[in-house]
């Protein structure tokens, strides 16, 4: 493998002080819910490990993931995040175009065989042999398969790559298909959201670089550190929900007082994402804070689940993560007690700041 600069080399070359660098490391640790003890570990990785080569390809998508990513409010912001990884191919933000760009892609695939990360934004349409999305004169699905073959792991950015999103909504004329149904032989990290939160995206990249392994994931393939809690669990309007105070109509007195938006169709109770803790735009706000319900954009098939303003009528407990907790609590008797304890311990872990990932104190 060719020599690559480390992240630290790059930022020093850009004239960023060591103090700023260490601050970045501790903020990065905090954003991953890892606690201050992990900051030196992150610093060490940044100083010693070469930047990860990343190939970022685009299928059927709207580029909102890229737009989100480059707005990461991480302490050292956009240009540094882009130096942390070595973004060798990304048609949206690379200078090269046309044949030159395609050559860069081939170059990376050969040079870093088995060592690069493939980031996929959007998904391939499979109908008509993939003719609904052509990149460099070939169907996108071929580029995807080709680039995935020698990748170390695949990141599915956004709801398109993770679930299909709007282009896969019924009746899905182009047969848009999420990445994990096309690439079945590589580890895939799904980072759903339309778009995903910028700090979640950079947090996952930081994790990959720091630990050299994939983060712990749930059964749907989402990193637990950002997707183990529902919007509802950590919503700042939750006390209003608890007290039965609901907005009944847009712009009523309750809406002005910031009451719970469940009755206006908020999907917070069924949506797993970090919006209510990390928030958006440097932690300034998130949809519910600006007075609109969550539309559940990081959940599978959210376009086909009725109107954004329809009230939820069923709320599966623990979502897809239903485990011994849900099955067991309906069982009575002596076995019930042991299962109550198990459910209690996982509930307490889930409720903890930083979620299940909080390894330090």
Partner 1 sequence: MILSGAFGSTAQRLSAATRMECGVCWAVYEPAEGCATWDIGAGTAFSDLPDYWRCPTCDNDKSVFLPVAGQEADPMADRVAALEDAFRTAEAAFLDTPFHNAALRVEAIGFRAWEDAWLGILITPWFMNVILLPQDPAAWDDLMPGAVPQRHILPAGRFDFEVGRLDHFGTWQACSLFSTMESFADHNTARQTAEACLDALFTAEAPKEPEPPAPPEPVEPIDRRALLRGQFGSRA
User: Which residues sit at the interface with partner 1, rule CB under 8 A?
Assistant: 232-246, 258, 262, 269, 277, 311-315, 317-318, 325-326, 329-332, 336-337, 340-341, 343-345, 347-348, 350-354, 358, 361
Residue 342's H or E segment, with its range, is helix 334-351
**Sole residue written with tokens 């390809």:** 57
Beta strands (DSSP E) in 80-228 are 85-89, 116-121, 134-135, 138-139, 151-157, 188-191
How far apart are CB 315 and partner 1 at their closest, in Å? 5
How far apart are CB 227 and partner 1 at their closest, in Å? 17
How far apart are CB 340 and partner 1 at their closest, in Å? 4
Nearer to partner 1, 248 or 304 (CB): 248
Nearer to partner 1, 88 or 321 (CB): 321
The whole-angstrom separation of Cα 142 and Cα 272 is 32
| One-character DSSP codes across 303-323 | GGSS-TTSPP----TTGGG--
Q: Which residues contact 155 (CB under 8 A, 6 or more apart)?
A: 117, 118, 119, 120, 188, 189, 191, 204
- Judged by DSSP in three states, 214 sits in coil
The whole-angstrom separation of Cα 72 and Cα 262 is 29
End-to-end CA separation in angstroms for the chain: 39
Nearer to partner 1, 51 or 237 (CB): 237
Residue 31's H or E segment, with its range, is helix 18-31
- Judged by DSSP in three states, 330 sits in coil
Nearer to partner 1, 222 or 240 (CB): 240
How far apart are CB 236 and partner 1 at their closest, in Å? 5
Nearer to partner 1, 184 or 313 (CB): 313
* Nearest one of 296, 295, 276, 263 to 255, comparing CA atoms: 263
Nearer to partner 1, 17 or 341 (CB): 341
How far apart are CB 350 and partner 1 at their closest, in Å? 8
How far apart are CB 295 and partner 1 at their closest, in Å? 18
How far apart are CB 221 and partner 1 at their closest, in Å? 24
Nearer to partner 1, 184 or 314 (CB): 314
Nearer to partner 1, 93 or 344 (CB): 344
Give the other-Cβ count within 10 Å of 149's Cβ: 14
Q: Is 108 exposed, middle or buried (0-12, 13-18, 19+ CB in 10 A)?
A: buried
How far apart are CB 228 and partner 1 at their closest, in Å? 13
CB 85 within 8 A of CB 51: yes
């Amino acid at each position: 493998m060719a020599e690559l600069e480390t992240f630290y080399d790059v930022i020093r070359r850009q004239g960023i002080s060591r103090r700023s660098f260490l601050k970045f490391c501790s903020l990065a640790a905090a954003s991953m819910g890892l606690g201050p003890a992990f900051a030196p570990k992150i610093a060490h990785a940044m100083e010693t490990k070469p930047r990860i080569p990343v190939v970022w390809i685009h299928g059927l998508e709207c580029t909102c993931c890229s737009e989100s990513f480059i707005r990461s409010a991480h302490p050292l912001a956009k240009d540094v995040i882009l130096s942390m990884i070595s973004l060798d191919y990304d048609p949206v933000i690379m200078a090269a175009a046309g044949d030159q760009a395609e050559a860069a892609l081939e170059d990376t695939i050969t040079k870093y065989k088995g060592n690069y990360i493939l980031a996929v934004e959007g998904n391939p349409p499979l109908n008509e042999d993939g003719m609904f999305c052509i990149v460099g004169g070939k169907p996108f699905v071929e580029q995807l398969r080709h680039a995935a073959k020698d990748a170390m792991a695949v990141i599915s950015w956004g709801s398109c790559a993770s679930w299909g999103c709007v282009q896969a909504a019924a009746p899905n004329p182009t047969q848009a298909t999420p990445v994990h149904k096309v690439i079945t032989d590589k580890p895939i990290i799904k980072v759903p959201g339309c778009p995903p939160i910028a700090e979640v995206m950079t947090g996952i990249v930081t994790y990959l670089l720091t630990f050299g392994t994939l983060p712990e994931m749930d059964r749907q393939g989402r990193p637990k550190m950002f997707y183990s809690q529902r919007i509802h669990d950590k919503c700042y309007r939750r006390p209003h929900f608890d007290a039965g105070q609901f907005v009944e109509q847009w712009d009523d007195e309750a809406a002005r007082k910031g009451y719970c938006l469940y009755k206006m169709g908020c999907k917070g109770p069924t949506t797993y994402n970090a919006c209510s803790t990390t928030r958006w735009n440097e932690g300034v706000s998130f949809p519910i804070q600006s007075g609109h319900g969550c539309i559940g954009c990081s959940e599978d098939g959210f376009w086909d689940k009725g109107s954004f303003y329809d009230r939820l009528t069923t709320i599966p407990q623990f979502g897809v993560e239903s485990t011994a907790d849900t099955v067991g609590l309906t069982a009575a008797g002596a076995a019930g007690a042991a299962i109550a304890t198990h459910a209690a311990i996982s509930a307490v872990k889930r409720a903890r700041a930083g979620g299940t990932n909080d390894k330090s104190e």
